[in-house]
Amino acid sequence: QVHLVESGGGSVQPGGSLSLSCVTPGIFFRAHGMAWYRQAPGKERELVATITSDSATTYVNSVKGRFTCSRDNARNTLYLQMDSLKPEDTAVYFCNKDPKPWRTWGQGTQVIVSS
């Protein structure tokens, strides 16, 4: 049973930082590539960052140099450090497998960037 629990969102001013976490109990976490996705109001869900099982990362151009994705296989946890946040980063952030996300999604964690 896939269970994804995202946390760490909040409301910050432009230029601020947030650190997101995704816990994946019951999954053989270390075997899977993972990713962070986000969905802004009125928009489709988009892929933000990926990380392979051996921690190679990729980022969508809009967050390169500002976001850092990492993982702790011992804790079955995925992280997203977000710095220099912009209003356009406002969205609900989700984690899931990459490639081929599981059908089950977590509740996500809301990030609001506003002055």
pLDDT at 11 over 90: yes
Residue 87: asked if its preceding bond is cis (omega within 30°), the reply is no
- Model confidence band, residue 74 (pLDDT cutoffs 50, 70, 90): very high
pLDDT at 2: 84
Rg (CA), the chain: 13
Give the type of residue at 82. Answer: M
* pLDDT tens for each residue of 43-56: 999 999 999 999 99
Q: What is the full DSSP assignment across 28-88?
A: -GGGS-EEEEEE-TTS--EEEEEE-TT--EEE-GGGTTTEEEEEEGGGTEEEEEE-S--GG
- Model confidence band, residue 92 (pLDDT cutoffs 50, 70, 90): very high
The mean pLDDT of 69-94, rounded to a whole number, is 97
